[in-house]
């Protein structure tokens, strides 16, 4: 099986002032000339930018690059971040990828796109006869990620303010489930573009929506692939596919929760013997010690201060 992967980054121009109109041409133009320069630099660097757009949040933007093999995708994630910082700074602006810039504000996600192909390039995830048009193999892969999702949170959402973002009604992950036409899923079957007779078969792939800038992209992608492979190894059945809006007071009340804060996330990671077996004890002990220290230090501040701290760092 061959993996195609890409990281999609959201960030905020924190130096921008004035009105913001989500997704507008005005917001697009407000980023000029940094926006056009960013795309040019990414193109010249061979990072294959695909889409550059104003997002919903206040002075928030999104940049996507073309999929590639897994390791290169993670390399590209780091290069994209540094290019964004550098280009915005060159124009006297400041960009931040922090999960939440101000309490209650829209979050910045780092979404991971994952496609599954065979050696000839055929899409292993595609099966139009099944729910979500998702093959049995891809269903098992998704099941591994969904089953271990809560334990992975400490690594995909490793900052104290990561958990301000991972909440319902936030267009970001509300619960741990596989979704279709649903932006609150941890793992989403991406919508396909079938305009003018475009073929959906090669397009169908997953988007993992839980991650943020605190996650190491190599480790994050490695974890998602390990969890997916675990699902394949055990032949897990396709998880429930939640289609459309989430009804947390009704039909979807029983969907598994993600940890509510970093401390809970560290406990949940420790309790999952499968996920912990993928790491050396020394790695886990070091990670936990650092993160517990970070949690203890940061949580004593007000939410606004917590957000400001991470906005400065990221």
Binding site for ligand GLU (CB under 6 A): 10, 106-109, 165, 171-172, 183, 209
Which of ligand GLU, Mg ion, none interacts with 112 (beta carbon under 5 to 8 A by kind)? none
Least spacing, CB of residue 105 vs ligand GLU, in Å: 10
Comparing CB distances to ligand GLU, the nearer of 137 and 174 is 174
Least spacing, CB of residue 289 vs ligand GLU, in Å: 28
**Rounded to an integer, what distance in angstroms lies between the CA atom of residue 91 and that of residue 175?**
39
Comparing CB distances to ligand GLU, the nearer of 165 and 175 is 165
**Rounded to an integer, what distance in angstroms lies between the CA atom of residue 264 and that of residue 267?**
5
Which of ligand GLU, Mg ion, none interacts with 64 (beta carbon under 5 to 8 A by kind)? none
| Residues binding Mg ion (CB under 5 A) | 62
Comparing CB distances to ligand GLU, the nearer of 127 and 177 is 177
Least spacing, CB of residue 109 vs Mg ion, in Å: 6
Residue 250 burial (C-beta neighbours within 10 Å; 0-12, 13-18, 19+): exposed
Which of Mg ion, ligand GLU, none interacts with 209 (beta carbon under 5 to 8 A by kind)? ligand GLU
Supply 141's token pair.
């892969």
Least spacing, CB of residue 233 vs ligand GLU, in Å: 30
User: Closest by alpha carbon to 212, among 164, 259, 169, 260?
Assistant: 164
User: Closest by alpha carbon to 113, among 222, 2, 231, 221?
Assistant: 221
Least spacing, CB of residue 161 vs ligand GLU, in Å: 12
Comparing CB distances to ligand GLU, the nearer of 148 and 165 is 165
Long-range contacts of 224-228 (CB under 8 A, 24+ apart): 224/112, 224/114, 224/145, 224/152, 225/3, 225/70, 225/114, 226/278, 227/144, 227/145, 227/147, 227/148, 227/149, 227/152, 227/275, 228/114, 228/141, 228/142, 228/144, 228/145
Comparing CB distances to Mg ion, the nearer of 62 and 184 is 62
User: Closest by alpha carbon to 6, among 238, 258, 193, 220?
Assistant: 220
Least spacing, CB of residue 190 vs ligand GLU, in Å: 11
Beta pairing, strands 206-208 & 187-189: antiparallel
Contacts of 235 (CB under 8 A, 6+ apart): 140
Specify the 3-state DSSP secondary structure of 107.
strand
Place of tokens 């993160």: 291
Comparing CB distances to Mg ion, the nearer of 10 and 127 is 10
Comparing CB distances to ligand GLU, the nearer of 60 and 135 is 60
Least spacing, CB of residue 55 vs ligand GLU, in Å: 6
Which of Mg ion, ligand GLU, none interacts with 207 (beta carbon under 5 to 8 A by kind)? none
Which of ligand GLU, Mg ion, none interacts with 172 (beta carbon under 5 to 8 A by kind)? ligand GLU
Which of Mg ion, ligand GLU, none interacts with 123 (beta carbon under 5 to 8 A by kind)? none
Specify the 3-state DSSP secondary structure of 116.
strand
Residue nearest to ligand GLU (CB): 109
Which of ligand GLU, Mg ion, none interacts with 106 (beta carbon under 5 to 8 A by kind)? ligand GLU
């Amino acid at each position: 099986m061959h993996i195609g992967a890409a990281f999609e980054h959201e960030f905020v121009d924190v130096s921008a002032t004035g009105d913001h109109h989500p997704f507008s041409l005005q917001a697009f133009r407000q980023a000029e000339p940094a926006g056009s320069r960013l795309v040019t630099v990414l193109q010249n660097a061979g990072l294959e930018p695909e889409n550059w757009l104003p997002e919903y949040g206040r002075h928030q933007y999104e940049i996507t690059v073309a999929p590639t093999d897994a390791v290169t995708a993670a390399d590209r994630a780091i290069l994209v971040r540094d290019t964004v910082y550098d280009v915005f700074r060159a124009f006297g602006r400041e960009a931040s990828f922090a999960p939440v810039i101000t309490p209650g504000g829209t979050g910045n996600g780092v979404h991971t796109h994952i496609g599954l192909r065979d050696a000839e390039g055929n899409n292993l995830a595609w099966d139009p006869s099944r729910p979500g048009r998702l093959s049995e193999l891809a269903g098992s892969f998704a099941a591994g990620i969904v089953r271990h999702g809560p334990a992975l949170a400490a690594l995909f959402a490793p900052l104290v303010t990561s958990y301000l973002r991972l909440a319902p009604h936030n267009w970001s992950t509300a619960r741990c489930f596989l979704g279709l036409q649903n932006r609150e899923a941890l793992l989403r079957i991406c919508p396909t573009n079938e305009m003018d007779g475009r073929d959906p078969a090669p397009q169908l792939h997953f988007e993992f929506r839980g991650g943020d800038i605190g996650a190491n992209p190599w480790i994050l992608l490695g974890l998602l692939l390990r969890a997916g492979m675990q699902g394949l190894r055990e032949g897990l059945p396709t998880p429930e596919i939640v289609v459309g809006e989430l009804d947390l007071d009704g039909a979807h009340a029983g969907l598994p929760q993600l940890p509510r804060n970093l401390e809970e996330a560290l406990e949940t990671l420790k309790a999952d013997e499968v996920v912990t077996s993928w790491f050396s004890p020394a790695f886990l002990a070091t990670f936990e010690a650092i993160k517990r220290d970070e949690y203890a230090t940061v949580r004593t501040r007000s939410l606004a201060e917590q957000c400001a701290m991470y906005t400065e760092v990221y």
